[in-house]
Amino acid sequence: MKFVSDVKDELEIQLPKLKTSLKIITGFVTKEAFDFVNEIIEDINIEKWILFKLNLLDFQKGSSSFDFKKAIETGWKVYVDNSVHAKNYIFDENKYLQGSANLTSKGIGLHIENSDENCTLLKYNNDTRIWVENKFNDSLEINENNMEQVQRYIDEVINIEDKDILFKKQKSLEKRINKEHYNFEIDENYKKFNNIYLLDRIEVFKEVLQNNNITLEITYENLINIYKFKPNSSLVKEYIIDLDKIVKYDKFNVNNKMYSYTPKIYKYKNKYFLENVDYYCKNKINSKELKIINESLKYLYKKGICVNFDEDKMYFRRYKEVPYYKNFYSLENIQKELLEQYYIGKLQKLTEVNVHNKIKSFRLEE
């Protein structure tokens, strides 16, 4: 471990020695600071990755600036994620700088001898590697296909001062280039790293929870009236993810069936948020889809959940290809036989006539 008060000087020591890769994670970035790094390593054949925030307001105020075309053409892989706060400079996945220094002129002290920012030079370890890999995996790559589009948005907002217009531009940009940008589900492989990884993901999630399109705020009254969740019931305790408490790994496990078919509900600072799921709809379903739907309805029934079908449509979660039920609620004095008949009727409308007899034998419990 080494305390670093002169980040520029340390970069000048570490960068020329690179042999395989350089990865940079920074909240803010400026052209001048990026060029400083790029010029030192331009003749070194290595992998070069950078991740930073793509907040149009930061570019409009001059806090950030970046030449996407130049960076990509000189071999950099460029990623963006508006939840990024960390500042890391990873050298050959051997050691790394971690601290308060963004990759900006002020952050690394390009023009001053003593910057207020400092870092620690640390040995790279497996936990950190997992954390870094997932930071990049959860971010969006800017490449030849979308860099000009992104640059146009930045150029358009330079002289805009109206915050409402800036906000709309930001939302428009995110909508155009967003590809499951905020995916907070965790693969089984990362379970053993939850102490560092899960806690970080949860803190990031709290930051973006109310400011992006990943959730919709719902009132407590709607939770009771629409979803029929009784206070302090076992279903409420099991289903709602309380971010003010210690959240277990299983709540974010990508394989957790509890949230495969219905949206998650989060509680944070006495407010409730419904997961905004990316889905598509079908008017007709095939035999394979019917089997999966039957399994999902049985599973949810065992968990104390029943669903409403939206007219004569069936929704599926994009990327996962499993049934998705927007309208769900807690079982409350509902007779199993009546619920089965409701499901049978809806499923028959979604299928061809030749499978209707098979659907008639559907039972929630076997």
Question: What distance in Å separates the CA atoms of residue 247 and residue 206, rounded to the nearest whole number?
Answer: 12
> First CA to last CA across the chain, in angstroms?
61
Distances (CA, A) of 156 to 66, 151, 237, 302: 15, 9, 47, 53
Tokens for 266, please give them: 């989060």
Cβ proximity of 290 and 316 under 8 Å:
no
Domain segments of the chain as ranges:
2-177, 188-275, 279-360
Give me the pLDDT at residue 115, please.
Answer: 65
Give me the pLDDT at residue 319, please.
Answer: 58
CB 237: neighbour CB atoms within 10 A?
9
Q: Say what the pTM is.
A: 0.52
The single-letter DSSP state of residue 230 is P
Hey, CA dihedral for 337, 338, 342, 343, is it positive or negative? negative
Give me the pLDDT at residue 111, please.
Answer: 83
Give me the pLDDT at residue 148, please.
Answer: 86
Tokens for 137, please give them: 């995996």
Hey, CA dihedral for 142, 145, 151, 154, is it positive or negative? negative
* pLDDT, tens digit only, all 366 positions of the chain: 899 889 999 999 999 999 999 999 999 999 999 999 999 999 999 999 999 999 998 999 899 999 999 999 999 999 998 878 889 999 999 999 999 999 999 999 988 765 678 899 999 998 898 889 888 877 888 988 788 888 988 998 888 888 788 888 887 787 666 543 444 555 555 444 445 556 666 776 776 676 556 788 889 888 888 888 887 788 888 888 888 887 776 777 667 788 889 998 988 888 898 888 777 888 889 888 999 999 999 999 999 999 998 777 899 886 577 899 988 888 877 889 999 999 999 999 999 888 888 899 899 986
Tokens for 25, please give them: 């994670």
Phi, psi of 32, rounded to the nearest 5 degrees: -65, -45
Top-level CATH class of 2-177? Answer: alpha beta
